[in-house]
Structure 1
């Protein structure tokens, strides 16, 4: 008869696996959030599947409801996880740039790429076009999106003022152009998984230089 080998003091502990007993609740919740961010970011709230999220983690679908209450509750937890990380990355990039406005766009892009490394779809959890206006998920996303957009407005207005442009409509138009550009670049990055955050930073430096030369 074959018997299991007894562990010895020198044996390393086996790593905890998703969906197994003994995984600390906080760790399991983060596993669920990571899987849900990808699912919501890929498919949008409307089409996202709770069953698919549970399968990705290796837990049962009822466990998701036990932890987060509902699909809307899980989505709200995702935006509360994603939003502060992105906000902090942008704030730190803006603070580090100081008065050097010319380098601000590249600094912010680099900070976002680094914050999104390993979870590139997170941006589209905040900017989810499938959310029903006025719904709980819509309000949850808007709260964080408004904070990110406010920083974008501050940065773009500062860029224009440095060029002697104080037109409020110019600033608002540039903010929308900037936010759309960031989303387009992140979408392009998702389509090119072989590129790292640093690859994207270098590429954007070249693109921004080309835009300045052509302006």
Structure 2
């Protein structure tokens, strides 16, 4: 096996074990055994178990960010962008469940926030710009876009975490309900909301 192929194998094996057991639960011995190598091979490629974990997190983060980024691409209609973003996240969860479990579970060593939290911050900034323009066009405060971006991204992310294990209903139905709540809630926004109590 070439060095590149071996590295790919170790990342794939590590992803599965980290998803099942977490960073602390998966041992370097288990990873080596599952890959059919000795521990020094892992150290040679990644320096440590933490190094392998960081590579897995970076790879999954990049793939999720790419999927969401592409969903927020060319279309200018906010509802369509929201639909695409919701579907992109649910599709990532469906196709890369192990990767999403890792992003949700543990922060890489030496990093305060979890990988998913850091990714959501980056996605929120993009959504904020979209909402700021839309809010301005409707006569609302563009500055409120940041707050509403947090709400929308949080709603989708929390639903995604629930759906990771629930898997019912199917992703199209979940996405439709997310868009229904977000869009119909957004279309009825008041410029100066007040609490009833």
Question: Structure 1-normalised TM-score?
Answer: 0.66
- 1:208: which partner in 2? 179
Partner deviation per Cα, 1:170-200 (whole Å, 9 max, x = no partner): 43433433443343233223314687xxx31
Q: Which residue of 2 aligns with 1:120?
A: 97
Give the aligned CA root-mean-square deviation in angstroms. 3.3
Where structure 1 has 5 or more consecutive residues not aligned to the other structure, the ranges are 1-22
Structure with more contact order per residue of length (Cα contacts < 8 Å, sep ≥ 6): 1
Cα distance between partner residues in 1 of 2:142 and 2:25: 41
- The 2-side partners of 1:55 and 1:182 are apart by 38
Q: Which has the larger radius of gyration?
A: 1
Q: Aligned match of 1:73 in 51, 66, 69?
A: 51
Q: Is the 8 A contact 1:125 1:141 kept in 2?
A: no
1:30-109 residue pairs with structure 2 within 5 A?
30-96=8-74, 98-109=75-86
Per-residue deviation, residues 2-29 of structure 1 (Å, max 9, x unmatched): xxxxxxxxxxxxxxxxxxxxx3332232
Matched-pair contact (CA < 8 Å) for 1:152–1:175: yes
Using the TM superposition, give the Cα deviation of residue 124 of structure 1 relative to its aligned residue in structure 2, in angstroms. Answer: 4.4
Q: Tell me the distance in 1 between the aligned counterparts of 2:6 and 2:107.
A: 27
State whether residues 106 and 201 of structure 1, in contact with CA within 8 Å, keep that contact through their aligned partners in structure 2: no
TM-superposed CA distance for 1:129, in Å, is 4.6
Unaligned residue ranges in structure 2 (runs of 5+)? 189-197
| Corresponding residue to 1:176 among 150, 175, 178 | 150
The answer to whether the 8 A contact 1:120-1:186 is kept is no
